[in-house]
Amino acid sequence: MVLVMDATPRLREQACFALYTASRAVIGLYRPMLDRLGLTYPQFLVLMALWESDGLTVTELGDELQLDSGTVSPLLKRLEAGGFVERRRESDDERRVTVHLTEAGAALESRGCEITQVVGEASGMSYGELIALRDKLNEFTAAIHDRQSTTE
Amino acid sequence: MVLVMDATPRLREQACFALYTASRAVIGLYRPMLDRLGLTYPQFLVLMALWESDGLTVTELGDELQLDSGTVSPLLKRLEAGGFVERRRESDDERRVTVHLTEAGAALESRGCEITQVVGEASGMSYGELIALRDKLNEFTAAIHDRQSTTE
DNA sequence: GCTCATTAAGTTGTGCACAACTTAGTTGTG
DNA sequence: CACAACTAAGTTGTGCACAACTTAATGAGC
Residue with CA nearest C1' of nucleotide D24: A95
Backbone angles phi, psi at A2, to 5 degrees: -105, 135
- State pLDDT tens for residues B85-96: 999 999 999 999
Determine the Cα–Cα distance for residues A136 and A21; give it in Å rounded to an integer: 17
Residue B129: closest CA among B120, B138, B118: B120
Helix (H) or strand (E) holding B99: strand B97-101
B40 touches strand D (CB under 7 A): no
Neighbours of B89 (CB within 10 A): 10
Inform me whether the pLDDT recorded for B2 exceeds 60: no
Is the CATH number 1.10.10.10 carried by domain A32-116? yes
Under CATH, which number does the domain B39-122 receive? 1.10.10.10
Backbone angles phi, psi at A100, to 5 degrees: -125, 140
- State pLDDT tens for residues A42-82: 999 999 999 999 999 999 999 999 999 999 999 999 999 99
CB contact under 8 A, B65 and A137: no
- State pLDDT tens for residues A93-145: 999 999 999 999 999 999 999 999 999 999 999 999 999 999 999 999 999 99
Question: What is the least distance, in Å, from the CA of B25 to any CA of chain A?
Answer: 6
Q: What residue segments make up the domains of chain B, in order of their start?
A: 39-122
Could you write out the three-class secondary structure of A59-91?
A: HHHHHHHCCCHHHHHHHHHHHHHCCCEEEEECC
Q: How far is the CA of A92 from the C1' of D13 (A)?
A: 40
